[in-house]
Amino acid sequence: MKINISRQNIYFLFFLLILIMFVLLFSFSFLVPKGKEYRQQRLELKKNNYELKRYKDYNEVVLKKLKKLQTTHRHTITAFDTSFNAQRFQKQNKGYFTSLAISEKIKSENEDKFSVYEVNTTSSINSPKSFYNFLDAVNKGDWIIGVNFPINFKREGEIIRSSFTMKIYKVAKD
């Protein structure tokens, strides 16, 4: 029994065999190693995406908290940027005192990135209650003011003379 295969079919089978060997060689030499690398990179990408999502969520939480604090403390933030004006301070607070005198402000050294001005005041008040009302008004005023101790009170007839030192804080521009 003789197998009758044409030369054309033999060339075709030979070409097909070479093509299959080339595909297998290409697959095992390039595709399989790159597939392992691809899986590793895909796993790393998933980790990075998870971490990015975590950071974005944290960023949103912190941003919401920041916006809430900025709206809650808007007055304080603007007070740090407002420069101190002695005449305006006297106008705003003269209702609490019968007389209010502010001595010249002396700029002291910067403390913790703040410009600090020291103001010595002498005032005459009718009662200590008006002084406490003044302290409440200072807390709601346009400046960040710290009233330093000691606060001296002296009674002279119907009037109480008080003398105290205030520090006005303003953010230093660097």
Find the CATH number of the domain harbouring 142. 3.30.70.60
102: its two tokens: 């502010």
DSSP summary character for residue 51: H
Q: How many CB atoms lie within 10 A of CB 84?
A: 19
SS3 157: coil
78 is a domain residue:
no
Q: Which secondary structure element, helix H or strand E, spans residue 46, and what is its range?
A: helix 32-72
Span 41-81, pLDDT tens digits: 999 999 999 999 999 999 999 999 999 999 998 887 787 77
Of 113, 112, 117, 169, nearest to 143 by C-alpha is 169
SS3 119: strand
Span 76-129, pLDDT tens digits: 778 777 777 777 877 777 777 766 667 655 665 555 656 566 665 666 777 777
Query: How high is the pLDDT of residue 22?
Result: 92
Residue 34 confidence class, pLDDT cut points 50, 70, 90? confident
Burial (CB count <10 Å: 0-12, 13-18, 19+), residue 161: middle
Query: How high is the pLDDT of residue 117?
Result: 60
13 is a domain residue:
yes
Query: How high is the pLDDT of residue 61?
Result: 97
Residues 105 and 146 in one domain: yes
pTM of the model: 0.50
Query: How high is the pLDDT of residue 46?
Result: 96
Q: Residue 174: pLDDT above 60?
A: no
**Structural domain range at position 126:** 84-171
Query: How high is the pLDDT of residue 50?
Result: 97
Query: How high is the pLDDT of residue 146?
Result: 78
The residue whose two tokens read 């009233």 is 147
Alpha carbon distance 107, 102 (integer Å): 14
60 is a domain residue:
yes
The total of structural domains in the chain comes to 2
